[in-house]
Structure 1
């Protein structure tokens, strides 16, 4: 039971943190997601466990990966679904705006997709280390 409470607190705190970073009120987030204001408040305080559908709506509104919310909510096992450390780092950085985060993620994802489409191009060879 302690794990469940810890998981609910973790996802709720994370959602509240991301909402504040996006400079959204609970009411604004409720409007963006179609989820009621009281229900969002209960999620943020760790009193309610959000469904996968609610987490999906929250991920879109907060511009975070749904996978990261699923892991925090205990829906996915982090070992089975490792998140991108690059994406996680960009999303966690409070020094850049939400708009800039989205631009960085779009560029990063386009590079990843391009590399996946052209696996025969390994890129430059690393320089040998003298020693």
Structure 2
């Protein structure tokens, strides 16, 4: 995270806030992050839009009564359950 923040030219706390959905990056910052990760800005925007597609994910990320770590853990558990259900349905 620190290395990416340095490459992008933003602070580590600001990058962490972006990652946790607490702050929305400007177009310039989003473009810099994408280039630093070797992605096109369009690919990163598509991933961002895909991630916010679930009402539950949006609700979890918006719940400020939870810590950032708790919100991240809940989203990870939710994603794991969806993946398990998908694998079961396919297999």
TM-score with structure 1 setting the length: 0.38
- Segments of 5+ residues of structure 2 without an aligned counterpart are 15-23, 37-43
Q: Based on CA coordinates, which of the two structures has the bigger radius of gyration?
A: 1
Residue 66 of structure 2 aligns with which residue? 96
- Segments of 5+ residues of structure 1 without an aligned counterpart are 1-28, 58-68, 121-131
Residue 5 of structure 2 aligns with which residue? 33
Give secondary structure in 1 for the equivalent of 2:89: coil
Using the alignment, how far apart are the partners of 2:72 and 2:84 within structure 1?
18
Q: Please list the CA deviations of residues 81-128 of structure 1 after superposition, one character each: whole Å capped at 9, or x if unmatched.
A: 5711111111111110011111111110110001101127xxxxxxxx
Greater fraction of residues in helix: 2
RMSD: 3.9
Contact 2:61–2:71, Cα closer than 8 Å, also in 1: yes
Equivalent pairs counted in the alignment come to 69
Residue 33 of structure 2 aligns with which residue? 54
Q: Please list the CA deviations of residues 2-29 of structure 1 after superposition, one character each: whole Å capped at 9, or x if unmatched.
A: xxxxxxxxxxxxxxxxxxxxxxxxxxx8
Q: Tell me: CA distance 1:30–1:70, structure 2 relative to 1, closer, same or farther (3 Å).
A: same
